[in-house]
A = this chain, B = another copy of it.
Amino acid sequence: MRDTIGVIGGGQLARMMIPAAVNLGLNIKVLEEAEGMSAELAATGVGDYRDLETVLAFARTVDVVTFDHEHVPQAVLRELVAQGIQVHPGPDALQYAQDKLLMRQRLAELGLPMPDWAAIESAEDLGDFLDAHGGRAVVKTARGGYDGKGVRVVSDAHEADDWFQALAEDGRGGTLLVEEFVAFRRELAQLVARRPSGELGIWPVVETVQRGGVCAEVVAPAPNPVGRLPEVASEIASTIASGLGVTGVLAVELFETTDERLLVNELAMRPHNSGHWTIDGSTTSQFEQHLRAVLDLPLGATGNRDPWSVMVNILGGPEEGSLQDRFAEVFAAHPTVKVHAYGKQPRPGRKVGHVTACGDDLDEVAYEARGAASIFGD
């Protein structure tokens, strides 16, 4: 059987694939951007993922190529495929994670519920959209944004002038995405995995709490769902995974509106922060499932192991020293909490780890997870 997985990118998502690969007896190789990254243990190469020769040389040492991030250029991806290399997710799917305008157009074709949106090319376009949507909107660059970057809430037609200008100078055309500012009750995420042969694995929908545009906390499953919310979230993610031909893990970020609709916010075609709870809280972790999916193996069960799991990110970490310096205190105070450290230097705002607690009582589980994270300097 094909049993060697190559991961492009050496961040924590690649790192968290290592335990899954080790457990299954699979080989894992990582092409990291620089030495000493989070997934260093499995790194067999260092180089620029935008460079075709670098990526090709790496890809020839593995059975299937997958990703820590969505930034490998289409031209590189398509050449890998042309050379017969297995790439999951493939370029046809990944383009929708790489370009938010393409994504909105495709999801519209699939009839999926979304915030009102438009492609805009000028301040005048933006002004028209603002006028039609209560004077407030969200402008996004189509490409290159993550964790709140490339996203701006605006209430004036000229608040995106600098982006229009930068895009024009960049020679990439001047189109931005503008979206309705959604009055949401909360944010949710629906994680799904899909095999090339079509099988889907669907975890329970979760609630995500963002701070400053960055995921801070995840509660699984999403508490107090109204009506058929879990089923609808699952149907939306399934339609996207199948409709876009995603292989591997897909995360669909959703708004639950104050008037009880679900709207698709963002997509990620890889294991995702909203799924870290699955390592400890689900029968099959998103990382194991991703490996199964990209190898086109039958998917694992996606039920939650306990009624509740709460995952809290460690953002920044201690002001001095390492996460490990806090282990004695965290472990003594929170013996049931699972600690995940990414082997990254603490730095303000940086995702350096996460903690997960699981159990029968949501208040208790949240208390444990938040308490442990706070000792790490969250």
Contact = CB atoms under 8 A, between A and B. Distances in A.
Interface of A: 1, 3, 15-16, 18-19, 22-26, 41-42, 279, 283-284, 292, 295, 297-301, 305-306, 321-325, 327-328, 331-332, 335-336, 338-343, 353, 358
A324 B26 contact: yes
A308 to B, nearest CB: 13
Select the residue from A26, A279, A284, A298 with max chain B CB neighbours within 10 A.
A298
Contact of A341 (B24, B340, B341): B24
B336 A300 contact: yes
Given A283-B336, A292-B331, A3 B322 contact: yes
Contacts of A328: 297-298
Interface of A is mostly: mixed
A3 B339 CA distance: 15
A331 B25 contact: no
Contacts of A284: 335
A331 B300 contact: yes
13 contacts: A1-B327, A3-B324, A15-B22, A18-B18, A18-B41, A19-B22, A23-B338, A24-B340, A24-B341, A25-B341, A41-B42, A283-B336, A298-B332
A297 B332 CA distance: 8
Given A3-B322, A25-B323, A41-B42, A335 B19 contact: no
A335 B195 CA distance: 15
A23 to B, nearest CB: 5
Contacts of A3: 322, 324
Select the residue from A19, A23, A340 with max chain B CB neighbours within 10 A.
A23
A24 to B, nearest CB: 6
Contacts of A15: 22
B19 A298 contact: no
A18 to B, nearest CB: 5
A340 B336 CA distance: 24
A234 to B, nearest CB: 17
B335 A299 contact: yes
Select the residue from A1, A16, A323 with max chain B CB neighbours within 10 A.
A1
B41 A300 contact: no
A18 B22 contact: yes
A298 B333 CA distance: 9
A309 to B, nearest CB: 12
A322 B19 CA distance: 20
Nearest to A331: B298
Contact of A22 (B25, B41, B298, B323): B41
Contact of A23 (B24, B321, B327, B339): B339
A315 B18 CA distance: 25
Contacts of A299: 331, 335
Nearest to A199: B332
B339 A24 contact: yes
A129 B103 CA distance: 81
B1 A324 contact: yes
Nearest to A296: B328
B41 A335 contact: no
Contacts of A305: 305-306, 358
Contacts of A42: 41
A338 B292 CA distance: 12
A306 B332 CA distance: 24
Q: Which 10 A-B pairs have the closest CB atoms?
A: A25-B341, A19-B19, A298-B331, A298-B332, A1-B324, A301-B335, A301-B336, A3-B324, A25-B343, A1-B325
